[in-house]
Amino acid sequence: MSKVKLHNIWKIFGPNPKYVLESIDPEATPSEIMAETGHVVAVRDVTLDIGKGEIFVVMGLSGSGKSTLVRCLSRLIEPTSGQVIIDDADVTAMDEAELRNLRRHTVSMVFQRFGLFPHRRIIDNVGYGLEVQGVKARDRRTKAHDMLGLVGLRGWENHYPHELSGGMQQRVGLARALAVDPEIMLCDEPFSALDPLIRRDMQDELLNLQQSLHKTIIFITHDFLEAIKLGERIAIMKDGEIVQIGTAQQIVAHPVDDYVLKFTEDVPRAKVLTAETIMNPVEGQARPSGDTVPFDTTLEKLIPRISASNGLLSVVDEQGTVIGVLDRQTVLVALGEAT
Amino acid sequence: MAQASAAGQVPEQRRDRKIFVWIAFVGAAVALLLLASQAISALDTFSESWNLGLHEELNELKRWVVVNRNSHPLFVFFFEPLSSFIDFFLRRVEAFILWVPWLIVVLAVFLFAERLRGLALALIVTACLFFMGLFGLWEESMQTLALMVTAVLFALAVGIPLGIWSAQNDRVEQFLRPILDAMQTMPAFVYLIPVLLFFGVARVPSIIATVIYAIPPAIRMTSLGLRSVSEDVLEAATAFGATDRQILRQVKLPLAMPMITVGINQTIMMALSIVVIAALIGAGGLGDVVLKSLRRLQVGQALEAGLAIVLMAILLDRLSAALVQGERYSQPQYQGFRLFSEKQRGNRVVEWIERRINRLYVLFRAASDWLTERVRPAFRRKEGFLSDRWLNNHAHWLIPVLVLTVLAILLRLVGMHSFSNLLRLDISQPVDSLVQWMQVNLYNIGDSGIGTGPLRDFLIIYVFQPLEAFLTEQLPWTVVLFVFVFIAYLAGGWRLALSIFVLTVLIGLLGMWSFAMDTLGQTLVAVVICLVIGIPLGIWAAHNDRVDQAIRPILDFLQTIPIFVYLVPVIMLLGTGSVAGLIAAILYAVVPVVRLTNSGIRGVDKSCLESAESFGCTRWQTLTTVELPLAFPSIMLGINQTTMMVLAMVIIAGLVGATGLGLEVYQGFANDNLGRSVEAGLAIVLMAIVIDRITQQLAAKAAAAANVEV
């Protein structure tokens, strides 16, 4: 079930974006367009379909247009052309009041540099979205208090943001986004400004929260490891375009080009690749030969299994049907590519 | 190798040749003008027949205003209602401040300051107030305070909304910016002239002049504060669906508050400096005392009133600056009274004093808590105004206000409201005798030729008179004009040169050429002395933290004193006239050049200094090859500010008999020749703009050449 749909989103920065959009040469690279017209093509013809309750990661280097793309979603940046559909409602056609309503109730955002209000206490930062909605002071305090409990910051209500560490500040950012009970959360590199250890904690925390909250999360990052850890699906952006969409395994196993390949090089493949992605598929009905392994067994766990077996493993799906076979050579080759 | 060095020499040589050509050109032009002016007298002295005769038309206008004041719709429906509204407001404020018994005013200010910043500030501001009373100037001080309150409230009521508007709207900003720039170059004195034309002599025109003069910082800082709120925070607010209004109220305004309070502080200080001068057009208050005593040459009394003005300045500056510094801390836990800093911990005497004071405070606190407990049950509301929680949150100011009101009524009833005559510190008589002693003994110490008299005579006979004669009589006006235009061309190109040409000729057309040259001469002398004193001092302070720390409070103090007050002590020593104006101008205007030289040198990139050191530079070499060139833009900015301040003082010194444009304005007032005053005032404005444009362009050019931002 899809929650958010983007159709052919373009964003061009410059004095006359509409004109550039019409006259654009589909083959031209951004630097050529820049040199020719003085315009920056930040997002280029992006079409996406994001499911309800999914963590969808948009990944790319800085300048690849991912932050612009996510801002087009709630029109913090106005797309030059294209359509954004949320729950069958056309966001791009909304007037100002409807748009504000969407931002107040449906979509909330977590920012890379936190975007906390330095002049408000933590509790009032978390309650800000509710305050904007017009919720009464007492109710929003209760809610904000609950949210602080959820992110483990109870007791810090009356402090000011500058008194908290970076990780704690981003927890506040998270609590603030959650306080309005949004259906969609946009996370713009929320953990990039944090130390590696704290970043890992925050990733775990986000996954934890998601297990009970089931929000639709669109998560921006430039860190591929973060992307494969969090994302059910990952879209990789380059020069404003999406070059590949897929699950972590799909991308690691079959990168579409050198750009994507470069990201996957640092990935511990043994932990990402599964039996399903490296097996030799079998057509039609087949009887299991040798031991069976579930399709989602990681390469790491396949190694002891295959060395203990007679050299052949059958891969089965959820129903126990054999969908492919693995031999020692296949496993070793997959592992070899990993190192 | 040889080729490279030859190629390197070529531009250098070309530059040398270019400079040579310029010098030759200037020399030739000046020589030509000098020769031509020998032959054609119109080139020598600015012909009287070119006078536009503006003063006659202006006096006509003034008469028209007087005749039509009660009939013309412009007055009936605009100036009169405005005037009576301000008058009504001012009367109320003044009546209230004078109604409140002096003790309550002192107490209220004490408590307010204590809550704001602690006991130290509270004691300083209370002392300021108390001394105003001791000098026997309580009533006059409160009159000045009432003028200030009224003028500042009006200025903020107009200025802050304008600032908000200009922050939200680029067009408004673009429209206001040049106006504000122009307003800030004009000397305070000039603002009094046009209001006289439309409102006549009274307190209302003083308020209006003050509001107009003091409004720019309120507008500017509000706009700047709102515009500098970080994009991140604004984006976050937008992402949560806040409306523009909500963003303004909940995010922008609170975050801009520190900047806005800086603007308020500046507005207050500017307002004070003009409220004092406005005594000239009948504002009353402390300025009036200074003015009257100066006229009667009662220097002692003038000094008392001058000191009271300084105390008022310190009081207002400290209080409004304390508002600025207010920082947010999460748990405002009250730690009891702390009179001295942490360093004094363990000093027995200090701790003893602090314990006593703290006991008093605890007592007061307990009393107010007890009162809160009694009052509270009377109100049973749960939320909002006058509810339990509201009372609890606001008790900290409600209780003192209540107590003070009750006390005020009581004191009024028993008639103890005016400052007792028994509490009188009379310094006017000792000062008068001191002045007499000085006039007798310091005038010419033992006939040695050293003393204030010879100094004065020397400056007048050997500096001012020759310079004035040189500028007005010997030097043809065309040469002065040429030099101005030429410097303008070097600083800012043809467009600036053209505008300077027009502005300078206009001064002559107003019939003010020789007065302007007189003022220019005094300004030049004062600026040169300021630079000779200020730049070395600034360099010294930049290299020596002790010196920096020692002069910082002095500079702060000099900057707090309203311009007018400088004249009082100077007159004590030197009598009236241009020399007094010169000394006052130096004291008043030396501050920016010291400050900006100091900060310019301190701001030099440490890595530049390190590399200079690594090449084995001596300190002198480092100073001349690295520090001064890099600090030059900042120093130029200091020179710009210093020059503008000198000009302002030289003009105000007209009040005490310094010749030039200021005196012309003043005599126009005195002789009921307002047209003449306006002409002189316009000439001042033109001169201010000419000097400001040129020096500012030089500073900008220097900054561009050094690739430094100032």
Give the nearest chain B residue to A110 (CA atoms): B236
**Å between A201 CA and nearest CA of chain B:** 24
Mutate to test the interface with B, among A99, A104, A121, A132 (most CBs of B within 10 A): A132
CA distance B229 to chain A (A): 10
Does B331 contact chain A (CB < 8 Å)? yes
Which tokens sit at B470? 């040189």
Q: Do B238 and A103 touch (CB under 8 A)?
A: yes
Smallest Cα–Cα separation from B539: which of B632, B645, B637, B618?
B632
Contact B240 A111 (CB under 8 A): no
Interface size A-B, in CB pairs within 8 Å, comes to 71
A136 touching B, CB under 8 A? no
**CA nearest neighbour of A264 among A330, A200, A338:** A338
Q: Which residues pair with A2 in a beta bridge?
A: A51
pLDDT of residue B384: 59
Instruction: Name the DSSP letter for residue B334.
Output: -
State whether A108 and B239 contact (CB < 8 Å).
yes
Contact of B232 with chain A, judged by CB distance below 8 Å, is answered with: yes
The answer to whether B550 faces chain A, any CB pair under 8 Å, is no
By CB atoms closer than 10 A (0-12, 13-18, 19+), residue A185 is buried
B247 touches A at CB < 8 Å: no
The model's pLDDT over A55-93, given as tens digits with 9 standing for 90+, comes to 999 999 888 999 999 999 989 999 999 999 999 899 999
In A, which residues are within 8 Å of B229 by CB distance? none
Whether A101 sits inside 8 A of B236 (CB atoms) is no
Residue (of A238, A119, A115, A126) closest to A188 by Cα position: A115
Spatial separation of the C-alpha atoms in residues A307 and A329, rounded to whole Å: 11
Give pLDDT, residue B46: 73
- Model pTM score: 0.79
Confirm if A156 and A164 have CB atoms less than 8 A apart. yes
Interface of A with B in 145-204 (CB under 8 A): 158-160, 163, 176, 180, 186
Q: Do B236 and A108 touch (CB under 8 A)?
A: no
Smallest Cβ–Cβ distance between B240 and the set A128, A158, A163 belongs to: A128
Contact residues, chain A, for B254 at CB < 8 Å: 119-120
Q: Which residues of chain A have pLDDT under 50?
A: 339
Specify the pLDDT at position B329. 41
- In 3-state terms, what secondary structure has residue A5? strand
Exposure on the CB side of residue A190, measured as CA atoms within 13 A: 33
- Strands (E) in chain A, as ranges, are 2-13, 40-51, 55-60, 81-86, 89-90, 107-110, 184-188, 216-221, 233-238, 241-246, 280-281, 291-294, 312-316, 322-327
How far is C-alpha B318 from the geometric centre of its chain's CA atoms? 15
Q: Report the residue from A121, A132, A163 with minimal CB separation from B241.
A: A132
CB contacts, 8 Å: A118 with chain B: 233, 255
Chain A within 8 Å of B236 (Cβ-Cβ)? yes
Characterise B672 by phi-psi region: left (phi > 0), alpha (psi -120 to 50), beta (else). left
Of A115, A121, A131, the CB nearest to B236: A115
Whole-angstrom distance, CA of residue B656 vs CA of residue B674 = 19
Interface with chain A: mutation pick from B233, B234, B240, highest number of A CBs within 10 Å:
B240
- Using a CB–CB cutoff of 8 Å, tell me whether A134 touches chain B: no
A62: closest CA of chain B, how far (Å): 18
Residues of chain A contacting B385 with CB distance shorter than 8 Å: none
Closest partner residue to B236 (CB to CB) among A111, A158, A163 is A111
Q: Does B255 touch chain A (CB under 8 A)?
A: yes
- Quote the minimal CA–CA distance from B233 to chain A in Å: 5
Pick the residue of A100, A107, A162 with the most B CBs within 10 A to test the interface with B by mutation: A100
Among A104, A111, A115, whose Cβ lies nearest the Cβ of B241?
A104
CA distance A242 to chain B (A): 24
B350 CB near a chain A CB, below 8 Å? no
Q: Which of B246, B254, B330 sits opposite A119 (nearest CB)?
A: B254
Q: Say what the pLDDT of residue B6 is.
A: 45
State whether residue B329 sits within 8 Å of chain A by CB: yes
Say if A311 is an interface residue toward chain B (CB within 8 Å): no
Strand partners, A241: A238
Mean pLDDT of chain B: 83
Nearest CA in chain A to B384: A137
Q: Do B237 and A158 touch (CB under 8 A)?
A: no
| Nearest chain A Cα distance for residue B238, angstroms | 7
Distance CA A24, CA A18 (A): 10
Give me the half-sphere count of Cα atoms (radius 13 Å) on the Cβ side of residue A203.
22
Q: Which among A74, A115, A186 has CB closest to B233?
A: A115
Q: Does B235 touch chain A (CB under 8 A)?
A: yes
pLDDT < 50: residue spans in chain B: 1-9, 327-337, 341
Q: Do B236 and A131 touch (CB under 8 A)?
A: no
A218 vs A177: CA distance, rounded Å: 13
**SS3 letters across A37-102:** HCCEEEEEEEEEEEECCCEEEEEECCCCCHHHHHHHHCCCCCCCEEEEEECCEEHHHCCHHHHHHH
Using the Cβ of A103 and the Cβ atoms of chain B, whether some distance falls under 8 Å is answered with yes
Residues A115, B331: C-beta atoms closer than 8 Å: no
Q: Using CB atoms within 10 A of its CB, is residue A183 exposed (0-12), middle (13-18) or buried (19+)?
A: middle
Chain B contact present for A108, CB below 8 A:
yes
Q: Does B426 touch chain A (CB under 8 A)?
A: no
Computed on alpha carbons and rounded to an integer, the radius of gyration of chain B in Å comes to 29
DSSP state of A286: -
Candidates B217, B265, B209; CA nearest to B560 is: B265
Phi (first) and psi of residue B371, to 5 degrees:
-65, -40
| Partner-chain contact A103 B243, CB within 8 Å | no
**What one-character-per-residue DSSP string does B424-475 give?**
----HHHHHHHHHHHHHHTTTGGGSS-SHHHHHHHIIIIIIHHHHHIIIIIS
d(CA A41, CA A30) in angstroms, rounded, equals 6
Residue from the list B235, B242, B255 with its beta carbon closest to the beta carbon of A132: B242
Looking at the partner chain, which of B233, B241, B255 has a beta carbon nearest the beta carbon of A101?
B241
- Give ∠ CA B626-B631-B635 in degrees, rounded to 5: 145
Contacts of residue A163 in chain B, CB cutoff 8 Å? 330
Task: Judge whether A141 is closer than 8 Å to chain B, CB to CB.
Answer: no
What are the pLDDT digits (tens) for B250-277? 999 999 988 999 999 999 999 998 988 8
B330 contacts in A (CB within 8 Å)?
A: 121, 158-160, 163
Tens digit of each residue's pLDDT (9 = 90 or more) over B536-583? 999 999 999 999 999 988 998 888 888 888 888 888 777 777 888 888
